[in-house]
Structure 1
Amino acid sequence: MQREKAKYNWVREKMEGPIKLSGKAMSELVDKGILKRADVLVTRSKGSLLGWLIRFGTQSYWNHAAMVYVIRNLELGYDSTFIIESGGGGIDIHNIAHYFERPKKYDVGIKRLEKDWFQSDGDDGGLRFRRKVRGFALEEIDDKYNHRLILDIARKILRQLVLAAIFPCLRWKEPSRRRARVPGIASRLDINAYICSGFVQWAYYRGVGKVLAETNDADSQKLQDVIFNSEVGHDDSEEVLLSTTPADLANSDKLTWKYIVKDGDVWEVNGQNDVDSVLGKN
């Protein structure tokens, strides 16, 4: 099995351009067991004002993020794959079909942390890290997120966009404490708050950190591997880590692009050029 996988990866690397798969997302990615626990999803909400505002503010195609929590396993009674995400109602666990079977409402990108130490299947290796990342996400439900957070972000962005349109010369002062920087107008929109992508970033950082502490592992590179905002360091504050945006996850070269689901079609991609081609950016 490993030899066949290695051969496929070698052949795939030699091929150029995205590959369109024949089936839909549920059959290609869920039924065939392609997705992995802790895979990162970035999504584009079509027809959403808040989604448009976030995309506009961060200059990104994507406006939301989630993480694969449970993968389809009929022996364990899971007949589908489930994701965990932060939304307007707090932390939710949804069937991934919520995104995959609504092509008129969502496009989806799938990224993966492909470090060997994270993807190995041993109980003392990657499996332990992946379990802890997902477990920490559940632990944070009551501590960091509630149903008002995303709504507060929407109000802040909308209010400041309106003010910017009425008073184009108006500038907002940045807080004196250090914050993660985001491009363009985002620095004036103050969208650095507890949002969906910050939840994913925080779960990765704290989950991996807990395993390192439990095993007395002093390898700080592992923590650096799971900081997906290129302008944030491992010694930054909790608030700065939580300010990670969907654009940060999409732009991070520490997460590998695997698939794009656009308008219901599934594309296997191998790098940013493939993604841009599928999204019509080339």
Structure 2
Amino acid sequence: MAEAISVKSFLANAEDHLRVGDIILSRSPTFSSWAIRWATGSAFSHAALVFLVAHPDEGFTSSFILESVRGGVGLSNIKDYIGGKHPHAEIVVLRLEGEQFTESYFKKVRGLMLDHVKSGYDYGRVMRMGLSAVFSLRLGWFTLSKGQRRSMEHAVSTTTRKLHKWVPPQFICSGFIQYGLAKAAELTGLTANVMLKPGLSPNDRDGILAVTPEDVARSPILTWRFAIRRGWVYPVQGYDEAMKRINS
């Protein structure tokens, strides 16, 4: 088993550890994080995509993730999640590996996610918060009535689409990542499987947005890379090993 390294070393040498397109799953000791994990039956409450990896020789020393949150889509510094004396989040890093998953493919993924949100989901703050409250209530109800495994799917499929063609992605961060991967594969003619959830069709729009962080964590097409907790980075090779690290 490879030895753990410090977060400081990990971030300083990010180009050796991270790749653009890596998927970050996270959780934090907040009520909202707990509520999402409870409602979706997941060990994690949030998902993000590695957007830019630090290259000090090119003049930038920070690595950024593209994430979809209640306020919309934006970039966050990974250091804000796991750096400092008291990091507020525990994260894991997973990777979609294979020779077909080129830099060009992940560039398309990133572009689609940014452009799609900018053109279709530029809501006012009040509208976002109102939709968020309604969606959260619906998700909680279906968790109780349908169970955790189906709650997200039912919540997505019953959300009114009068104002927008698709459910806003800031409510379902992991589904938004699945959208980017699937749409990029379609546009580039990629034949490799990019569906994170077994049995999910690229044409199932509700199913794509209903992908949960737990679906991502359990995906058979992703490779586990790291589990990060309390200032230390542990190389891991699977779900159980990762959970053991972040629960210790």
Normalised-by-shorter TM-score class? 0.7 to 0.9
Q: Tell me which residue corresponds to 1:133.
A: 109
Amino acid at match of 1:252: S
Q: Which structure would you say has the larger Rg?
A: 1
Is the 1:53–1:158 Cα contact (8 Å) retained in structure 2? Answer: no
- RMSD, aligned CA: 2.9
Is the 2:108–2:184 Cα contact (8 Å) retained in structure 1? Answer: yes
Q: Secondary structure at the match of 1:116?
A: coil
Looking at structure 1, the residues matched to 56 and 245 of structure 2 have their Cα atoms a distance apart, in angstroms, of 33
1:99-118 alignment runs, 5 A limit: 99-101=81-83, 103-118=86-101
Structure 1 residues 219-253: Cα deviation after superposition (integer angstroms, max 9, x where no partner): 3xx2xx211122411232x2321221111111111
Looking at structure 2, the residues matched to 246 and 114 of structure 1 have their Cα atoms a distance apart, in angstroms, of 19
Percent identical residues: 26
Q: Tell me which residue corresponds to 2:60.
A: 78
Structure 1 residues 171-228: Cα deviation after superposition (integer angstroms, max 9, x where no partner): 47xxxxxxxx9616x369726753111111111111122111xxxx6x3xx2xx2111
Is the 2:14–2:63 Cα contact (8 Å) retained in structure 1? Answer: no
**Superposed displacement of residue 99, structure 1:** 0.8
Looking at structure 1, the residues matched to 45 and 25 of structure 2 have their Cα atoms a distance apart, in angstroms, of 7
Deviates more, 1:248-257 or 1:272-281: 272-281
**Superposed displacement of residue 27, structure 1:** 2.0
Give the counterpart of 1:35 among 1, 6, 18: 18
TM-score under structure 2 length normalisation: 0.80
Aligned in 2, Cα 1:22/1:75: closer, same or farther, shift over 3 Å? closer
Counting matched residue pairs gives 231
Q: Tell me which residue corresponds to 1:123.
A: none
Unaligned runs of 5+ in 2: 158-166
**Superposed displacement of residue 84, structure 1:** 0.6
Looking at structure 2, the residues matched to 202 and 113 of structure 1 have their Cα atoms a distance apart, in angstroms, of 15
Amino acid at match of 1:138: L
**Superposed displacement of residue 135, structure 1:** 1.6
Give the counterpart of 1:183 among 149, 168, 171: 149
Q: Tell me which residue corresponds to 1:275.
A: 242
**Superposed displacement of residue 129, structure 1:** 0.9
**Superposed displacement of residue 154, structure 1:** 4.9
Is the 2:70–2:132 Cα contact (8 Å) retained in structure 1? Answer: no
Q: Tell me which residue corresponds to 1:249.
A: 216
Aligned in 2, Cα 1:265/1:74: closer, same or farther, shift over 3 Å? closer
TM-score under structure 1 length normalisation: 0.71
1:230 is the counterpart of 2:209: no
Q: Secondary structure at the match of 2:237?
A: coil
Is the 1:257–1:269 Cα contact (8 Å) retained in structure 2? Answer: yes
**Superposed displacement of residue 144, structure 1:** 4.5
Aligned in 2, Cα 1:234/1:150: closer, same or farther, shift over 3 Å? farther
Looking at structure 1, the residues matched to 208 and 138 of structure 2 have their Cα atoms a distance apart, in angstroms, of 24
Looking at structure 2, the residues matched to 182 and 230 of structure 1 have their Cα atoms a distance apart, in angstroms, of 17
Structure 1 residues 84-127: Cα deviation after superposition (integer angstroms, max 9, x where no partner): 11011111111111112155421111000012211xxxxxxx12
Unaligned runs of 5+ in 1: 1-14, 119-125, 173-180
